[in-house]
Amino acid sequence: GQQLNQSPQSMFIQEGEDVSMNCTSSSIFNTWLWYKQDPGEGPVLLIALYKAGELTSNGRLTAQFGITRKDSFLNISASIPSDVGIYFCAGQGPSGGSNYKLTFGKGTLLTVNP
């Protein structure tokens, strides 16, 4: 199936630092999504991007849909301890069968030291 390359695999940062992570694909996607998974819970949607070049913010989070439609990045500014978790990128459509099927990256494990 389709593959997403998400990097970095893990990050250890100090509280207050900014964070950047990204996903790349060999395939084009119509939608890019970013999820966060808290320990022991299911992933929760943070940001959805629907158009190439789109830049969207949600509080301290900013994400962009790459112009080529093959990549996306997520930035977190001024990190706080509750930002700890696993962040997943996901791409949706147009190829690979159903429009509603998501392809996920392997995740970025974020640790924030107070």
- Interactions with other proteins, residue window 11-50 (CB under 8 A): 30-31, 33, 35, 40-45, 48, 50
Q: Report, in Å, the least distance between residue 113 CB and other proteins.
A: 21
Nearer to other proteins, 35 or 73 (CB): 35
Q: Which of 57, 61, 66, 51 is nearest to 85 (CA)?
A: 61
Q: Report, in Å, the least distance between residue 8 CB and other proteins.
A: 13
Can residue 100 be called a binding residue for other proteins (CB under 8 A)?
Answer: yes
Sites of contact with other proteins (CB under 8 A): 1, 6, 9, 30-31, 33, 35, 40-45, 48, 50, 88, 90, 92, 97-102, 104-107
